[in-house]
Amino acid sequence: MKCSRCKKLACVTLPSHHSGFCAECYPLFFTRQVETAIRREKMFTHEERILVALSGGKDSLSLMLELAAQGYDVTGLHIDLGIPGSSPSARVKVEAFCSSHGLKLEVLEMEKEGLPIPDIKAYVNRPVCSVCGRIKRHHFNRIAMEGGYDALATGHNLDDEVARLFANTLRWDTAYLSDQGPTLPAREGFVRKVKPLFRLSEFETANYAFLKGIEIHSAACPYASGASFTSHKELWGELEHRSPGQKFQFYQGFLKKGKPAFAAREAEVGEPLAPCVECASPTSAGTCSVCRIKETVRANKAAALAAEG
Ligand code: SF4
Ligand code: ZN
């Protein structure tokens, strides 16, 4: 296939776009998709300050590089989860990436916050990934609010969004369905959240990272459990193979027709929020779930140490 832009030999073919690109033109395709996402979903402007969540994977680092190249005021935030065999290498990759590109970076250590993920695994009787995700979202929002950022950007791509939407639809989880989308406006206690890569698939982002020579963190987390999202992605990969463009149509259809209905319903039944008595993050329960988890870790760890000694 020839490059849709310059007619040289294409190195990436994109059936869902009926096009292909050579190595020089592909990043332009990527840039246009990100520009369109930001503009159509009113994500942010060049006058605003954006905090970018950086895990060290291909999506978050590609997002950071692209937003910086488009002239946005971006600062990276990496959360060091304290997971042996995974977190040290993720942190090294993020720090090296930001330093080599001259990008601002903040690092938050869960060890110092009293919530390293190995302690969650050892002392909290709940699925570690769900607690880990909650802790990350909590701290991304807290740092963005405390730092006065206008928006928090994450590297979720189209495959992530479709897998999540599919899982929520299978459960008809209306609260989560009302809260999914590429732009979630700011509200009391919550920063605006945006996903500028939502028009791009995992494959498309991986190509960008590769062609830009980004060194990514790829060591698997020892606690990764092969969650249902993985099988949903495989299922959608098969559908997309048979009918290119289906993933994007499904997601766009939800944004246009499904989300407004769920959002209206949740606005009626949603619980009122107030600041957590411990950390001031918004919660409907007096003390927020992350502060309660922290207390569980502290108490169970102390009990385990007392039993040992
Ligand atoms: Fe956290 Fe689970 Fe991801 Fe590991 S795999 S970083 S525990 S969410
Ligand atoms: Zn709290």
Q: What is the pLDDT of residue 210?
A: 97
Task: Output the residue whose Cα is nearest ligand 1's atom 7.
Answer: 129
Place of tokens 């869960």: 110
Ligand 1 atom nearest 128 alpha carbon: 7
Class of domain 26-236+244-270: alpha beta
Would you say 288 is a known binding-site residue?
yes
- pLDDT confidence bin for 294, thresholds 50/70/90: very high
pLDDT at residue number 226: 62
In the chain, what percentage of residues exceed pLDDT 90? 86
- pLDDT per position as a tens digit, 58-105: 999 999 999 999 999 999 999 999 999 999 999 999 999 999 999 999
Q: Determine the atom of ligand 1 nearest the C-alpha atom of 221.
A: 4
Q: 175 in ligand 1 pocket by Cβ < 6 Å?
A: no
Q: What is the ipTM of this complex?
A: 0.98
The residues, any chain, with a CB within 8 Å of residue 160's CB and separated by 6 or more, are 59, 202, 229
Is residue 224 in contact with ligand 1, taking CB distance under 6 Å?
yes
- pLDDT over 70 (residue 228): no
Whether 143 and 51 have beta carbons less than 8 Å apart is answered as yes
Out of 89, 120, 223, 230, give the residue to mutate to test ligand 1, the one with the largest number of ligand atoms within 8 Å of its CB.
Answer: 223
Q: Is the pLDDT reported for residue 267 higher than 70?
A: no
> Is the beta carbon of 227 within 6 A of some atom in ligand 1?
no
230 vs 136: which has the higher pLDDT:
136
Tell whether residue 11 is among the known ligand binding residues. Answer: no
Annotated domain spans of the chain: 26-236+244-270, 272-309
Cα(298)–Cα(101) distance, rounded to whole angstroms?
39
Report which of 212, 223, 211 is spatially closest to residue 83, judged by C-alpha positions: 223
Mean pLDDT of the chain: 94
Q: Which residues contact 158 (CB under 8 A, 6 or more apart)?
A: 197, 198, 199, 200, 201, 202, 247, 248, 251
Is 221 known to sit in a ligand binding site?
A: no
221 CB less than 6 Å from ligand 1? yes
Q: Which residue CA neighbors atom 5 of ligand 1 most closely?
A: 224
Average pLDDT for 126-151: 96
Q: Tell me, in angstroms, the distance from the centre of ligand 2 to residue 67's CA.
A: 31
Residue appearing with tokens 């929002």: 141
Torsion of Cα atoms, 119 then 121 then 133 then 86, to 10°: 80
Annotated binding residue at 108? no
Kindly report the pTM of this predicted structure.
0.94
Answer yes or no: is 129 a known binding residue: no
- 248 neighbors 158 (Cβ within 8 angstroms): yes
**Closest CA to ligand 1's atom 8:** 129
